[in-house]
């Protein structure tokens, strides 16, 4: 027979630490809208999401067997510093960081517009 010991609830002044970071509905809407445009343009073909303790990650792929082309990260700890959101390229370079997701995603929308030769 196992004994269940409940974990104590935090007091009134304790900070709540979430078990994992996730994208909310409006963030997912912005991410999937951009993903749909890029799929229609033939640039992207697959995506993956990871929800970890300190970061939520949305990865996009050209093919599902490759490394991700871009990672869009949400890091709540950086909310007051560099910005909650970041777009990171395949080589690990931070392409844009900021506090507003649609503004940060514009760096990827610019890659959609190409000059006609």
pLDDT digits (tens, 9 = 90+) for 49-74: 888 888 899 999 887 667 888 899 99
pLDDT of the residue at 64: 66
Strands (E), 3-107: 46-51, 56-61, 70-74, 85-89, 94-98
The two structure tokens encoding residue 11: 């007091």
pLDDT of the residue at 52: 86
The domain limits of the chain are 25-109
Q: What is the mean pLDDT of the chain?
A: 80
Alpha helix ranges (H) inside the chain? 25-40, 101-109
How far is CA 7 from its chain centroid?
A: 31
pLDDT digits (tens, 9 = 90+) for 78-115: 787 888 899 998 888 899 998 888 888 888 886 665 55
- Using alpha carbons, list the distances in angstroms from residue 48 to 19, 27, 45, 80: 20, 15, 11, 27
pLDDT of the residue at 12: 60
């Amino acid at each position: 027979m196992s004994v269940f010991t409940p974990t104590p609830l935090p007091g009134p002044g304790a900070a709540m630490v979430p078990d994992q970071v996730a994208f909310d509905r409006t963030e997912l809407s912005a991410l999937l809208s951009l993903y749909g445009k890029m799929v229609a343009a033939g640039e992207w073909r697959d995506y993956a999401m990871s929800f970890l303790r300190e970061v939520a990650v949305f990865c996009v792929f050209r093919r599902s067997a490759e490394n991700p082309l871009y990672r869009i990260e949400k890091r709540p700890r950086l909310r007051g510093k560099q910005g909650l959101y970041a777009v990171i390229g395949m080589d690990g370079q931070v392409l844009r960081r900021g506090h507003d997701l649609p503004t940060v995603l514009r760096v990827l929308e610019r890659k959609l517009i190409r000059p006609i030769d």
